[in-house]
Amino acid sequence: MKEEYLYIVQIILSLMLIVLILIQVKGSGLGSAFGNIGAYSTRRGVEKIVFYLTIITASLFLLFSLLRLLV
């Protein structure tokens, strides 16, 4: 029974992580990978909240993945 709940939570977290990552994508493309310094700017407002939510969701996903391995 615990394993089913962990599985459901992991699916929900994975979907949330996908959505949060897709929201963050900017139009800079590969330019930032090759030294386009102008693409970097400070995060403000909603962009900052989405960034931190992505980190929290990824951490929770990792935690629940490890829990599923142990259960």
Kindly state the tokens that stand for 8.
Answer: 């459901």
E strand or H helix at 39: none
Confidence (pTM): 0.75
- The predicted-structure confidence for 12-56, as pLDDT tens digits, reads as follows 999 999 999 999 877 554 445 555 555 566 778 888 999 999 999
Q: Domain range spanning residue 54?
A: 2-70
CB atoms closer than 10 angstroms to residue 13: 20
SS3 labels along 3-35: HHHHHHHHHHHHHHHHHHHHHHCCCCHHHHHHC
Count: domains in the chain: 1
